[in-house]
Amino acid sequence: MKKAAAFLIFALCVPLTVSAQTTKVGKTGFAFLKIGVGGRSAALANANFADVKGADASYWNPANLRDARNEVFFAHSEWLLDVKNDFVAAKFNGWGASWAFSLQMQNIGGIEQRTIATAEPIGELTARDVAIGLSYARALNSQLDMGLTFKYIGSRILNYAANGLAVDFGAKYRLDGIAGLSLAASVHNLGSADEMLSEKINLPTLLRAGLAYEPLQNLQNHRLKVFVGYEALFDAGSGFGAGIEFVANQLVALRAGYRFNEDSRHFSGGIGLERPGYQLDYAYTPFDYDLGETHNISLSVGL
C-alpha cells in the first residue's frame, strides 16, 4: 500500500505543479515539443507512454528508461504544412541507473518574407527549433520507477532567437496481483525561456497519464497489448487516446489508434518489424478538413 500511495501522490501533485506553471502571463511557444516522436507511438495515437521500451522513453516518460533496451533510436516525421521533425536518442546503463542523451529538431522552410504588404514576397526564410536532453532514471523499488529529463531548448528565425531550460518528471508503477498492467504519469516542459521580439514565451507544459495492459500472456510467440492515455495540453485543452498492438511471431507488429476529443485528428495506424537487435516502425495519420496527413518512421538499433 505504501508503494501505491507514493505513485498516487506523484500523480496528484503533477497536475498542481502544471497548473502553477500555466498561471504565468504570456504566450506559449516551442510547439514542436508537443508533436510526439516515433512510428510506434504515432500509430497507437500517442497512448502508449506507459509502455515505451526504447530510447524514445527520454521524450515520452523518462521513468520508462528503466525497462528500455540499450539502443540508439532515430525518428523522422513529415508533419503538416511541410514541417519536418527529427529525433535521435541513445540509452545506456551505468552507475546504478539508466541514462539517455536526446536531440529533437524541427525545421520549417518556405516561410514567405515581407517587410511591407506586397503581392509577392521578397524571399523565403526558415525557422528552426531544437531541444537537447539528458535523462536519468532509477528504480525506487521493485514496482516504482522514477525519471528526469533536463533540456536545453532553442528557437531561431532570421536574426531572432530564444533559449530556455526545462525539466520533465516521470513515474511508472507496476501493480501487484495484476500481471501485465503498468501505470504511468509524467509532466513535461517545466521551465522558462527568453523573450523573442519583446514577447514573453511560456513553454508548452503538459501532463500525461495512462496505462498499458497485456490481457493475454499465453499466446506463445504472439503478443497483444492495449493502451489508454490522457494528455492535458494547457494551452490547447486535453484529450484521450487509445491504441491496440498485435505482434505476430515476434516479428510483425500491427497497430491502430484513435484520438478522442480532437477536432481534426482521430484514426491512426501503422506497422512494425521486430528482429533481434533492431526495430523498424511506420505510422500514418490522416487529418480532417483537407489538412493532409502525416507520416512517421523510426528505427532503433541495439547497443
Instruction: Decide: 262 and 231 in contact? Cβ < 8 Å.
Output: no
Alpha carbons 83 and 77: distance in angstroms, whole number: 8
Alpha carbons 16 and 205: distance in angstroms, whole number: 12
The residue among 50, 65, 88, 67 whose CA lies nearest residue 231 is 50
Alpha carbons 245 and 41: distance in angstroms, whole number: 11
- Once rounded to an integer, what is the mean pLDDT over residues 11-19? 40
Digit-coded pLDDT (tens) for 132-174? 999 999 999 989 999 999 999 998 887 788 899 999 999 999 8
Between vectors from CA 163 to CA 233 and to CA 157, what angle results, nearest 5°? 90
Digit-coded pLDDT (tens) for 189-242? 999 888 777 777 888 899 999 999 998 777 788 899 999 999 998 766 788 899
- Once rounded to an integer, what is the mean pLDDT over residues 3-14? 42
Pick the CATH number of 2-302 from 2.40.160.60, 3.40.1010.10, 3.30.1330.120, 3.40.50.300: 2.40.160.60
Least confident window among 185-194, 228-237, 254-263, 271-280: 228-237
Task: State the pLDDT at residue 229.
Answer: 95
Asked whether residue 118 carries a pLDDT value surpassing 90, the answer given is: no
Instruction: Decide: 189 and 166 in contact? Cβ < 8 Å.
Output: yes
Which string of DSSP letters, residue by residue, matches 228-256?
EEEEEETTTEEEEEEEEEEEETTTEEEEE
Alpha carbons 43 and 57: distance in angstroms, whole number: 16
Task: State the pLDDT at residue 279.
Answer: 96
The residue among 163, 169, 181 whose CA lies nearest residue 137 is 169
Instruction: Place 178 in a pLDDT band, splitting at 50, 70 and 90.
Output: confident
Task: State the pLDDT at residue 200.
Answer: 78
Task: State the pLDDT at residue 289.
Answer: 78
Contacts of 89 (CB under 8 A, 6+ apart): 55, 56, 58, 59, 72, 73, 100, 101, 102, 103
Alpha carbons 145 and 135: distance in angstroms, whole number: 13
Average pLDDT, the chain: 85
- Residue 295 exposed, middle or buried by CB count within 10 Å (0-12, 13-18, 19+): middle
C-alpha cell at 93: 546503463
- Residue 122 exposed, middle or buried by CB count within 10 Å (0-12, 13-18, 19+): exposed
pTM, rounded to two decimals = 0.85
In order of 26, 110, 223, 252, the CA distances from 198 in angstroms are: 11, 25, 53, 51
Task: State the pLDDT at residue 116.
Answer: 65
Asked whether residue 10 carries a pLDDT value surpassing 50, the answer given is: no
- Once rounded to an integer, what is the mean pLDDT over residues 17-21? 40
Instruction: Place 114 in a pLDDT band, splitting at 50, 70 and 90.
Output: low
Task: State the pLDDT at residue 211.
Answer: 95
The single-letter DSSP state of residue 265 is B
The more confidently predicted of residues 20 and 265 is 265
Alpha carbons 131 and 192: distance in angstroms, whole number: 13
- Once rounded to an integer, what is the mean pLDDT over residues 34-58? 94
Digit-coded pLDDT (tens) for 55-109? 999 999 999 999 899 999 999 998 777 789 999 999 999 999 999 999 999 987 6
Phi, psi angles (nearest 5°) of residue 178:
-125, 90
91-101: b (≥16 Cβ within 10 Å) or e: beeeeeebbbb
Q: What percent of the chain has pLDDT over 70?
A: 84
Digit-coded pLDDT (tens) for 209-222? 999 999 877 778 88
Asked whether residue 130 carries a pLDDT value surpassing 90, the answer given is: yes
